[in-house]
Amino acid sequence: MLLNQHLIVQLFLKPETLLALTEPERSKVMVVLRKQKVLAKLAFLIFDKTLDKQFDEKTLESDEHALQAYKKTLPSNEKPLQLDEKTIRHLKNALKVAEKQKEQVFLEANEISHILKPVSEFVVFLKGAAYSLNHSLAGQGRIYSDIDILVNKVQLSDCEQTLALHGWFGEKISNYDQRYYRKWAHEIAPLAHIQRGTIIDVHHNIIPIVSNDAPSVSILKNHIVCNKNGIQTLSLQAQFVHSAVHLFRNEEYKTAFRDVLDLYFMLIEIGPNNLSDITDVAEDLGFKYEIGLALRALQNIFELSLPAQTINLLLNKSTLRVAFDQFIFAKVLLPQHRLLDCNATPMRYFLATVRGHCIKMPLHLLTYHLLMKSGRGIIMKIFGAHIFSPKDIQSNDNLPQRK
Amino acid sequence: MNKFIGEKTKLECKEGMLMHPFLDNSGLVFFNTLSTVVTSISVSEAVFKQWLDYPQRLSKEDLSKLRTLIDQGFLVESQALE
Amino acid sequence: MQTFQLNLPPFMFQVETNIPLVARNANIIYGDAYSDEIDLLVYVDYYLSATYSGGIRRFYKPQARFLCDEREPFQPLTANQAYAMLEWGMNWTVAAHELQYAIVHSAVLAKDDKAILFPAPPGSGKSTLTAHLSQNGWRLLSDEMALIIPGTNQVIPFVRPICLKNSSIALAKHCFPESVFSTLAADTGKGDVIHMAPPKAAFEQNRTPAAIVGIVYPNYKADRKLDIYQLTMTESFMQLVDNSFNFTAIGKSSFDTLTSLIEKTKHFEIFYNDLNEVDLFLTEDIINVT
């Protein structure tokens, strides 16, 4: 049977669903979840003893008949079933990586905070790193490729220099991309540590400046909190807003499902009854619409019941616009993989990408940016993606002067 | 930690660091699971314990080995009272 | 596009390829472990692919790409190296994901279910030694990866071909004319490369673990018949960690496994040009005395 997106979502709502699958089906699920970067998350849900006693593998017995019966109904007095050895191995491998990364993040966060304290008004950890540092639900079983921090734009150069002194250097990227990052985006290009290889993204706002919607620094500062280890992050509610804004303004949707899972777990932790905490922050930062989209999406995907009135009020744009956005996001946020039976047509992806671009940049700049990117894109299509060695990419920069 | 090794300084293994003395007395190995540094020292466990208790008595060469262990986060000043 | 499955305990790989030499070589190297009839009931651990690069590179100086579950861990190679690329890709896949074993980059050969690890960086001549021993009474558990069960001194087989480079190729073909060899991959980053199929006996015992009794660091030296140096446990441990794939990723469990292993094994560094002498030494001074 072809697995579908709905089943993948069910695994996170009811992890015991995994037991109802055949072994070949589980094998495909492992691959899909690994690609979506959420395998460790499922592993956490399954192996964390505090969450579900039924899943305690020590007390599980194997029973072939029960397996067949289980497929038909979810029994109320669960007969304990056993996961096969290979699935357990894949889950545990993924979880180990996440646990290891988490350990690493604590170490890096302490060091980065320590290094930047003398030169920076604040050093706020964002996104995945922040979830782990605060031991939040969204941070459990989460893997990520880099650490995101937020500093004041005024001190950005100082921070960059101080980090360089401690071994953090920018990776080689084209002059064009460098300029894009500095002028129009909300971050400098990623820095990598010379020995450890860890990558940090230094931001000076939570969304690109160029879109005109970026909140001011003084407003952002209201939402910074300090945990008991002296590490700064945004409040959980502000993290929710930040994550939603990124998801619904992004150009890339490859890990959209992971991001949507983050939002789901954050909402669970904040409490679905405490929506006003979230909406207040959204109002303050100026992102009510994105929060409306997020809550609507969470409601649809994870079968939550949230107050319709609240959500409608947040979705304060024309009916047509709201319908258009929901059309795109309805499918795009679900896990994508060729092993899954995905209902999304390619057209929906294209629309989502263009929409992402439209929101980030004013149109005249968008055209230039797209031309540069797509020029390279066309070359890659003809010559194959690997025609560019790092040396090639640098010398390909015959840039017209920006006015 | 303070780099000064005074008259009364004693050292001990930092909590959370892994250390193993080999049965053939050829040395000890250390593993810092957080920084992922692995290092070794080629003296027996008994001799190493002496190093920790009386760092002031060490030769320059041995002292510098001890300092490396301190720098890599394996050793800290002992909190034990005299 | 062709798809085939490789049953290589403890893993099952499913490979997709549009490069004919990949499937051909996999077939002759792996024999019964290779199947182009896809078994839908079997648990596939990793979905791999070896395919031509797109665009102009499909025809002009064709390139091959390796993907594991749609991730691309390294730069593509020229298409005639595609089979070697798949082999390295399988190594990468296991090394990058499998944290349930302490994995050491070494050959593993056993006699009477007592195993010796041969950790060795490239250029040490390890593979020629592996080829020789595997054809002279030793059981091949692996040419590149020792999968050690944590908390034990047990190593499990992961039977794969022996990767030979440059001058070893002619030597092996001369010494073992009956063996099965892949097509030559010329001019890879490692020079000319060929894969030599493991003996049938290795496949037959591919689920039988062995107890590690010795760790030997081989160094081929044209001017030395056989010089043997015993290593201290500390020295051997540090070298073993250097050759370890996932030591730091696993952490404490690896540390405990390897320190414990070191204390139960003999350790030698050898400089040699005489494979028969090495064989004799390993048998008499390690296997027979344990």
- Rounded CA gap, A227 and A237, in Å? 15
B26–C255: do the CB atoms touch at under 8 Å?
no
Looking at chain C, the whole-number percentage of residues with pLDDT higher than 70 is 98
B35–A103: do the CB atoms touch at under 8 Å?
no
Nearest chain C alpha carbon to B24: C233
Which chain C residues contact residue B29 at CB under 8 A?
234, 237-238, 259
What does the mean pLDDT of chain C come to? 92
Helix segments in A140-255, DSSP class H: 156-165, 175-179, 217-221, 236-249
> C126 and C22, same structural domain?
no
Q: Is residue A156 part of a domain?
A: yes
> C80 and C110, same structural domain?
no
> C150 and C214, same structural domain?
yes
Q: Is residue C175 part of a domain?
A: no
- Rounded CA gap, C186 and C165, in Å? 10
Average pLDDT, integer, range C40-49 = 94
Q: C128: domain CATH number? A: 3.90.228.20
Which chain A residues contact residue C56 at CB under 8 A?
382-384, 387
> A241 and A94, same structural domain?
yes
pLDDT at A56: 36
C99–A382: do the CB atoms touch at under 8 Å?
no
Average pLDDT, integer, range A332-343 = 74
> C71 and C108, same structural domain?
no
- Rounded CA gap, A135 and A269, in Å? 11
Give the tens place of pLDDT for each residue, B32-52. Answer: 877 778 899 999 999 998 888
Count the domains in chain C.
2
Closest by alpha carbon to C22, among C80, C92, C77, C94?
Answer: C80
> C154 and C118, same structural domain?
yes
Q: H-helix or E-strand containing C65?
A: strand C63-68
> C142 and C256, same structural domain?
yes
> C217 and C124, same structural domain?
yes
Nearest 5°: the CA angle C87, C93, C94 is: 95
Q: Is residue A401 part of a domain?
A: no
> A269 and A182, same structural domain?
yes
Amino acid at A340: L
- Rounded CA gap, A394 and B80, in Å? 58
Nearest CA-CA distance, residue B33 and chain A, Å: 9
> C88 and C117, same structural domain?
no
Q: Is residue C254 part of a domain?
A: yes
End of a domain among C54, C80, C97?
C97
> C148 and C25, same structural domain?
no
Q: Is residue C55 part of a domain?
A: yes
A194 touches chain B (CB under 8 A): no
Nearest chain B alpha carbon to C236: B26
Nearest CA-CA distance, residue C247 and chain A, Å: 12
Count the domains in chain A.
2
Q: H-helix or E-strand containing B21?
A: strand B18-21
> C145 and C202, same structural domain?
yes
Whether residue A151 has pLDDT greater than 60: yes
Q: Is residue C122 part of a domain?
A: yes
pLDDT at A265: 95
Q: Is residue A289 part of a domain?
A: yes
Per-residue confidence band for C189, with pLDDT thresholds at 50, 70 and 90: low
- Owning domain of residue C156: 102-160+198-287
CB A378 within 8 A of CB A398: no
CB A17 within 8 A of CB A33: no
Q: Is residue A249 part of a domain?
A: yes
C234–B18: do the CB atoms touch at under 8 Å?
no
Give the tens place of pLDDT for each residue, C9-36. Answer: 999 999 999 999 999 999 999 999 999 9
End of a domain among C97, C126, C145?
C97
Which chain B residues contact residue A99 at CB under 8 A?
none
> For chains B and C, what is the number of CB pairs under 8 angstroms?
42
- Owning domain of residue A390: 365-395
> A339 and A215, same structural domain?
yes
- Rounded CA gap, B40 and B76, in Å? 17
B35 touches chain C (CB under 8 A): no
Which of B36, B37, B72 is the mutation pick for testing A, counting most A CBs within 10 A? Answer: B36
C174 touches chain B (CB under 8 A): no
> A280 and A382, same structural domain?
no
Q: Is residue A48 part of a domain?
A: yes
> C149 and C78, same structural domain?
no
C232–B33: do the CB atoms touch at under 8 Å?
no
C238–B29: do the CB atoms touch at under 8 Å?
yes
C55–A35: do the CB atoms touch at under 8 Å?
no
- Rounded CA gap, A365 and A371, in Å? 10
Query: Which pair of structure tokens corresponds to residue A47?
Result: 């192996």
Q: Is residue A400 part of a domain?
A: no
Of C232, C247, C248, the CB nearest to B26: C232
Q: Is residue A402 part of a domain?
A: no
Whether residue A375 has pLDDT greater than 60: no
Interface predicted TM-score of the whole assembly (ipTM), two decimals: 0.85
Q: Is residue C119 part of a domain?
A: yes
> C211 and C107, same structural domain?
yes
- Going from N- to C-terminal start, the domains of chain B cover 11-77
B31–C255: do the CB atoms touch at under 8 Å?
yes
Q: Is residue C167 part of a domain?
A: no
Backbone angle region of A119, left / alpha / beta, with phi > 0 → left and psi within -120 to 50 → alpha = alpha
CA A110 to chain centre: 23
C232–B24: do the CB atoms touch at under 8 Å?
yes
Q: What is the pTM of this model?
A: 0.78
> A136 and A272, same structural domain?
yes
Whether residue C257 has pLDDT greater than 60: yes
End of a domain among C82, C97, C112?
C97
